[in-house]
A and B are shown apart, each in its own frame.
Chain A
């Protein structure tokens, strides 16, 4: 019997506000992110994930890479961006039902969509720069009952049945092997994503999600209709058969009570040796500053 070939790689990606160069107006007085003041970008570690997915595609003949993102209509921008860099297409999961999702509701919604898509490999960035939770990838793996490899730094080998990945850990690296399908979450220390490609940008620049297409001119609609590669699949909530109580705000147990600005006081690091006297002086200092006790 012929082995079933791996074909479908899905990258979970998020459009995020660019929090790397924030100005004074980055936060609203209410303590939430002022999305209007910040450029919407492709979450950086999701680009690392895309690169690893494209490397998998390079090694497996016939493999495809698709982006899955949950977000408003404009999140289709990052699907196009991924197509310019080498992805074959994407899925936009969009609708009011998803608004206010925390990581639990997000991973639930994504896993519902993934059940429809049936990928062989799921790759995601470790975490998004707006929340820094690193929870969504692992939660998706749990919900789908798949093995997961976190902190992936390098694709070592891949074939029809298994994947070998080097992980970046606090004090070194380890190489692990997993059966497929699996979820891989990728670190920023992995390879940078390849650039947008000139021919691909010319080819895919008119790609549109269904709701964007509905608002486009008749000429644009005809143009896209004749070219299936320009059609970005759009899922509404109903398309992925969810339990409505687990979506959006209703499905999100996380409640933000208060946000505090943390200002680092100390300017320099201090070094202590393992000598008893040094440890003693550290303890005294920590207790007197109420860090301990």
Chain B
């Protein structure tokens, strides 16, 4: 009777975060839906109670169904039959269970049959699904595409597609092409307007498309003939029932093997334009990617949780030299750090999700009425934080997922290298997480601006001012010193970059990591100030973060302009 929500006190803690109440108020807008929908909440407590109950259902389905199918799905995988994807039997069962539980359209408004839940709760659901089976999270988490339709598509498109997603239609986002991966501006799939039919026709090839045979696909395509950059790209929505897209092959991957990664051939596939022409990459994909990155942060955190639990369980059961191996210092230190890192990744994930929720809700409200001055200011404030924190959350959680899967195998010893334990699957599944939806290196590119423009520094100062509790005074003192280290490193890099262009590029990952470590430690310290149970992991993480920061700071300290040339491959 495993329940991945009920057995996870940390997740429950994040659901009870004070900002959730603000998010609910923005999301429910005077609880007007209660008069229209019998499942809408009456007030804030009612909404929170519903969130908890729904997350318990997710935890139940994850613990009882999805986790039980994971190994079989990993071995069986999907296949192509008659130009379409056939899921592994376990994947199909997972989809059916989630459909029956009504867990589609989690964040969509009720008028499109959605559950109208915050992004934060959706991230929690994603995390639990990924803990059960990371590869399946890719398929299920793509319902997030509907959020982009909800934000930018016409009412007609929303009416057509969103209730379908709420009823369980699966989604895909078709961006990557053979010659356009990280550089999406190079997308060539052609969109031409068919005057006679009154719709667009798509022609070309997409590659590496997760769940590419999904029922609803968002497609990035070149609508402006003669262009070759981002400004010629528009966003389209394709309905699988219309036909015109064939799955040419499914990639044979290292991990997440249950998730079909498709090569698609579009042949006069009919599609509808989403939003405005030429805004495809510039505006809509950016929104889609930010949401997807949060999704990967959630997926990675779920994998961290799974790896930690597998390692902890094995270390308690495996006996060597007459005692369980968890009793040996070398093992118990690894486990303590794994736990602290999981809590830190999760703390950063939900801090980010809350910022995203507040910003997004103001954005939705702004489509209904003009915002008041202070509301506008608040929206801007949280938008900036959301933009700054999203790459951090994605980067740290996905790197930790890999470290954690590595450590889980290490703790299993030789047995972990065999196919007999789930940790080998976790290791393979984790490997893509710091690659797709923007590699760690690209997250650094997005994050470094927030180092130089002060987003992180300002937020760190806000955390510092709020951190006054007696029980975390030691951590607070250390954090103040670490902030000094951060300032010094930033100063040096910025001033040397002026003399030697490229110096900042060389050190940007180190700077971003220093900022990230300070931020994660702050959030954990804040949690420890509220709840004593976080004190131990917060102190452990603080030590770990201090060591990591010292390493990065020492590298920067020693670095000279000559390094830029020397390190050029």
B253 to chain A, nearest CB (A): 30
- Whether B39 and A195, one on each chain, are in contact in the complex, defined by CB atoms closer than 8 angstroms, is no
> Are A202 and B41 in touch, CB under 8 angstroms?
yes
Known contacts being A195-B60, A195-B61, A196-B60, is A202 close to B100, with CB within 8 Å?
A: no
Chain A proximity of B57: nearest CB distance (Å): 5
Given the interface pairs A195-B100, A195-B101, the reply to whether A201 lies near B38 with Cβ below 8 Å is: no
Known: A205-B49, A205-B50, A205-B53. A198 touches B103 (CB 8 A): yes
B244 within 8 A of A: no
- Shortest distance between the CB of A199 and any CB in chain B (Å): 5
What is the CA–CA distance of A123 and B42 in the complex, to the nearest angstrom?
36
A13 CB, min distance to chain B CBs, angstroms: 18
User: In the complex, what residues of B have CB within 8 A of residue A227's CB?
Assistant: 38
Give min CB distance, A214 to chain B, whole Å: 21
**CB <8 Å contact, B115 and A198:** yes
Pairwise interchain contact B53-A202, C-beta atoms closer than 8 A: yes
Q: Given A203-B38, A205-B53, A198 and B102 touching (CB < 8 A)?
A: yes
Report B-chain residues with C-beta under 8 Å of the C-beta of A195: 57, 60-61, 65, 97, 100-101
Interface residues of B in 33-58 (CB under 8 A from A): 38-42, 49-50, 53-54, 57
- Asked whether A194 is an interface residue with its Cβ less than 8 Å from the other chain, the reply is yes
Expressed in whole angstroms, the Cα–Cα distance for A21 and B42 within the complex equals 38
Residue A200, interface by CB 8 Å? yes
A129: min CB distance to chain B, Å: 13
Residue A197 CB within 8 A of the other chain: yes
Which residues of chain B have C-beta atoms less than 8 A from A197's C-beta? 57, 100-102
In the complex, the answer to whether A198 meets B57 with C-beta atoms within 8 Å is yes
Contact A200 B102 (CB under 8 A): yes
Measured between beta carbons, the chain A residues less than 8 angstroms from B60 are: 195-196
Interface membership of chain A positions 218-234, coded 1 if the CB is closer than 8 angstroms to chain B and 0 otherwise: 00000100010100000
Taking the nearest CB of chain A, how far is it from the CB of B97, in angstroms? 6
Q: A203 to B42: give the CA distance in the assembly, Å.
A: 11
Question: Which B residues are CB-close (under 8 A) to A21?
Answer: 1
How near does chain B come to A153, taking the closest CB pair, in angstroms? 19
Across the two chains, which residue of chain A brings its CB closest to B41?
A202
Question: In the complex, what distance in Å separates the CA atom of A28 from the CA atom of B1?
Answer: 24
Are A201 and B61 also in contact (CB < 8 A) when A195-B97, A195-B101 are? Answer: no
- Number of A-B residue pairs with CB-CB distance less than 8 Å in the complex they form: 48
Q: From residue A282, how far is it (CB to closest CB) to chain B in Å?
A: 38
B41 nearest CB across to chain A (Å): 7
Q: Is A199 a contact of B100 with CB atoms below 8 Å?
A: no
A-side contacts of B100, CB under 8 Å: 194-195, 197
B115 touches A201 (CB 8 A): no
- Please, which residue of chain A has its CB at the minimum distance from the CB of B55? A198
Q: Which residues in A have their C-beta under 8 angstroms from that of B38?
A: 203, 227, 229
Interface residues on B, range: 20 to 34
Chain B residues near A203 (CB-CB < 8 A)? 38-39
Question: Which residues of A lie under 8 Å from residue B53 when comparing CB positions?
Answer: 201-202, 205
Q: Report the separation of the CA atoms of residues A229 and B49 in the bound assembly, to the nearest whole angstrom.
A: 20
Q: What 0/1 readout, one digit per residue, does chain A (166-205) give for beta carbons within 8 Å of chain B?
A: 0000000000000000000000000000111111111101
Decide if A199 touches B102 in the complex (CB within 8 Å).
Answer: yes
Residues of B73-111 at the interface with A, using a CB-CB cut-off of 8 Å, are 97, 100-103, 106
Tell me which residues across on chain A come within 8 A of B49, comparing CB atoms: 205
Q: With a CB–CB cut-off of 8 A, which chain B residues contact A196?
A: 57, 60, 101
The complex places the Cα of A199 from the Cα of B100 at a distance, in Å, of 11
A223 to B65, CA, bound (A): 35
A201 surroundings in chain B (CB, below 8 A): 50, 53-54, 57
Closest A residue to B53 by beta carbon equals A201
Which B-chain residue is minimally distant from A219 (CB atoms)? B42
Distance, CA A200 to CA B57, complexed state (A) = 11
- The CA of A201 and the CA of B59, in the complex, are separated in Å by 14
Is A202 in contact with B101, judged by CB distance below 8 angstroms?
A: no
Expressed in whole angstroms, the Cα–Cα distance for A279 and B306 within the complex equals 52
With both chains docked as a complex, state the minimum distance between the C-beta of A57 and any C-beta of chain B, in angstroms: 14
Complexed CA–CA distance, A201 and B38 (Å): 11
Set of chain B residues within 8 Å of A202, measured between Cβ atoms: 39-41, 50, 53-54, 115
CB distance from A156 to the nearest CB of B (A): 21
CA distance A197 to B50 in the complex (A): 12
**Given contacts A205-B50, A205-B53, A198 and B41 within 8 Å (CB-CB):** no
Cα A227 to Cα B37 in complex, Å, equals 12
| Residue among A197, A198, A205, A229 with max Cβ neighbours from chain B (10 Å) | A198
Q: Which of B40, B54, B97 contacts A198 (CB 8 A)?
A: B54
B446 to chain A, nearest CB (A): 34
Contact mask B114-138 → A, CB, 8 Å, 1/0? 0100000000000000000000000
How far apart sit A199 and B103, CA to CA, in the bound complex (Å)? 9
Residue of B nearest to A21 (CB): B1
- Least CB distance from B132 to A in Å reads 14
A135 to B14, CA, bound (A): 47
**In the complex, what residues of A have CB within 8 A of residue B40's CB?**
202
Q: How far is the CA of A124 from the CA of B53 in the complex (A)?
A: 27
Chain A residues, Cβ within 8 Å of B1? 21
The distance in angstroms between the C-alpha atoms of A31 and B39, with both chains bound, is: 45
Q: Quick one: which of B39, B41, B42 contacts A199, CB cutoff 8 A?
A: B39
Residues of A within 8 A of B61 (CB): 195
Q: Contact string, A1-40, partner B, CB cutoff 8 A, digits 1/0?
A: 0000000000000000000010000000000000000000
Report the Cα distance A201→B52, complex, angstroms: 11
Q: Which residue of A lies closest to B42 (CB)?
A: A223
Distance A195 CA – B38 CA, assembled complex (angstroms): 20
Q: Output the least CB separation between B261 and chain A (Å).
A: 28
Neighbouring B residues of A229 by C-beta, 8 Å: 38
Note all chain A residues with C-beta closer than 8 A to B39: 199-200, 202-203
Among the interface residues A194, A197, A227, which one has the most CB atoms of the partner chain B within 10 A? A197
- Given the complex, which residues of B lie within 8 Å of A200, measured CB to CB? 39, 102
Q: Which residues of B contact A223 (CB under 8 A)?
A: 42
User: In the complex, A191 Cα to B54 Cα: how many Å?
Assistant: 23
Nearest neighbor of B40 in chain A, beta-carbon distance: A202
With A and B bound together, what is the CA distance between A202 and B103 in angstroms? 12
Question: How far, in angstroms, from A198 to B51 measured CA to CA in the complex?
Answer: 9
A205-B49, A205-B53 as given contacts; A199 in contact with B115, CB under 8 Å:
yes
Distance of A205 from chain B, by nearest CB (Å): 6
Q: CA of A162 to CA of B128 in the docked complex: distance in angstroms?
A: 44
Give the distance in Å from the alpha carbon of A195 to the alpha carbon of B40 in the complex: 20
- A223–B43 CA distance with the chains assembled, in angstroms: 13
- Nearest Cβ in chain A — how far from B42, in angstroms? 8
Instruction: Pick the 5 closest A-B CB pairs, nearest first.
Output: A202-B39, A198-B102, A195-B101, A197-B102, A203-B39
Selected A-B contacts with CB under 8 Å, 22 pairs: A194-B101, A195-B60, A195-B100, A196-B57, A196-B60, A196-B101, A197-B102, A198-B57, A198-B102, A198-B106, A198-B115, A199-B102, A199-B115, A200-B102, A201-B50, A201-B54, A202-B39, A202-B53, A202-B115, A203-B38, A205-B49, A205-B50
Q: Which residues of B contact A (CB under 8 A)?
A: 1, 38-42, 49-50, 53-54, 57, 60-61, 65, 97, 100-103, 106, 115
Binding site for B on A (CB under 8 A): 21, 194-203, 205, 223, 227, 229
Question: A195-B100, A205-B50 known; 13 other A-B pairs, CB under 8 Å?
Answer: A21-B1, A194-B101, A195-B57, A196-B101, A197-B100, A198-B57, A199-B115, A200-B102, A201-B53, A201-B54, A202-B39, A223-B42, A229-B38
